[in-house]
Amino acid sequence: MRRLRVAGVGAGYFSQFHLQGWRALPQVELVGWCDREPSRIQGLPAFDSIESLLEEAKPDLLDIVTPPETHHELVRAAARRGIPAICQKPLAPTYAEAVALVEDAERAGMTLVVHENFRWQPWYREAKRLIDAGFLGRLHSVAFRLRPGDGQGPRAYLDRQPYFQKMARFLVHETAIHWIDTFRFLMGEVKAVFAVLKRINPVIAGEDAGIIVLEFENGTTGLFDGNRLNDHVASNPRRTMGEMWLEGSAGVLRLDGDARLWWKPHQSPELEHRYERGPDDTFGGGACTALQAHVVDSFLKDSSLENRGPEYLKNLRVQEAVYRSSLEGRKIAMEGFAP
């Protein structure tokens, strides 16, 4: 069996889930990892520069797990050697920089995938399977209530991801973008948005609460109601980070905080819809591993990829419309919208 040689850059908090995912895949050989502090890298050949990593480890794929402002140069470094990359989100600090990054990759003929893993959480894959099977009937709406409860007080985020406090754009740029992508995955393309964003915790720079209403081209609607201060009923509030209601003509599919799905047929009792929820001891029910397995399978079998760079820009365009809507206090139609 051919194995894909994978190397990565960035040994911060979230890299543990990337490494856990790669190590779970028998089709992958981890050949090295890079960080400004190589002592943080355990059990792998460690490098302190991207150039030495790419030159000596000779990977087939580069995994970029660093802050957004570093992504463009890392993508360029991989492109110069003809190495495809999978890059964490946010893709870049601004929309214009994200467009430039994707365009540079496309001009170089480089395959660039965005590590947007929420759509790979088992509950959303099962919801999509049920939608495609016609289980819900004609779709009406989707709603998600984000309540991870990790943004309270002066020490909010400092123990895990301290840079969250300094982000000028926070809730949408860092968090709600996951549901913009997931809603598009479940419901289709966005036609218009309306949003009200605000800051509740004064110690952070950006917004940490908001209501986003999405109109989809197929006539359905979406509601994202989020704040990071309050929590929800769950043994681990960060497992799903909130609760979802997906409504169709046949009934309502509800996601609870313990990743259980509940099905309520129209005018009938609600019953648990059992499915494989994934492991409960890692991020998002194994979402990183599922995404990485999809990428590996695509490269080894030459199959299609979800969330390639140009496709992912659609999410960022919706994100920009959300910020514009909140700033101007009006609904923004996506047709003709220029970020």
Residue 282 domain flag: no
Same domain flag for 222 and 325: yes
Same domain flag for 270 and 233: yes
Tally DSSP H helices, then E strands, for the chain. Answer: 8, 15
Q: What is the pLDDT of residue 302?
A: 82
Percent helix, percent strand, percent coil in the chain, to nearest 5: 35, 25, 40
Q: What is the pLDDT of residue 34?
A: 97
Same domain flag for 249 and 100: no
The CATH number given to whatever domain includes residue 17 is: 3.40.50.720
Q: What is the pLDDT of residue 1?
A: 65
Same domain flag for 109 and 152: no
Same domain flag for 110 and 128: no
Same domain flag for 32 and 137: no
**DSSP string for 161-179:** -GGGGG-SS-IIIIIIHHH
Q: What is the pLDDT of residue 223?
A: 98
**DSSP string for 251-314:** EEEEE-TTS-EEEEETTS--EEE------SSSGGGTHHHHHHHHHHHHHHHT---SSBHHHHHH
Same domain flag for 248 and 180: yes
**Domain total for the chain?**
2
Q: 172 to each of 126, 195, 228, how far by Cα in Å?
A: 25, 10, 11
Q: Across the strands, what pairs with 273?
A: 261
Same domain flag for 212 and 252: yes
Q: What is the pLDDT of residue 116?
A: 97
158 three-class SS: coil
Q: What is the pLDDT of residue 303?
A: 81
User: Count of residues for the chain?
Assistant: 339
Same domain flag for 123 and 262: yes
Domain of residue 324 covers 119-276+315-333
Residue 338 domain flag: no
State how far the Cα of 178 lies from the Cα of 28, in Å rounded to an integer.
26
Q: Kindly report the CA angle at 55 between 67 and 20, in degrees rounded to 5?
A: 50
CB atoms within 10 A of CB 108: 15
pLDDT tens for the chain, residues 1 to 339: 689 999 999 999 999 999 999 999 999 999 999 999 999 999 999 999 999 999 999 999 999 999 999 999 999 999 999 999 999 999 999 999 999 999 999 999 999 999 999 999 999 999 999 999 999 999 999 999 999 999 999 999 988 889 899 999 999 999 999 999 999 999 999 999 999 999 999 999 999 999 999 999 999 999 999 999 999 999 999 999 999 999 999 999 999 999 999 999 999 999 999 999 999 989 999 999 999 999 999 999 888 999 999 999 999 999 999 999 999 999 999 999 999
Residue 76 domain flag: yes
139 three-class SS: strand
Same domain flag for 327 and 303: no
With beta carbons less than 8 A apart as the criterion, state whether 110 and 80 touch: no
Q: What is the pLDDT of residue 151?
A: 95
The CATH number given to whatever domain includes residue 174 is: 3.30.360.10
31 three-class SS: strand
Residue 339 domain flag: no
* 3-state SS string for 2-29: CCEEEEEECCCCCHHHHHHHHHCCCCEE
Residue 11 domain flag: yes
Same domain flag for 232 and 296: no
Same domain flag for 141 and 33: no
Q: What is the dihedral of CA 178, 318, 191, 125, to 10 degrees?
A: -20
Residue 267 domain flag: yes
Residue 284 domain flag: no
Residue 204 domain flag: yes
243 three-class SS: strand
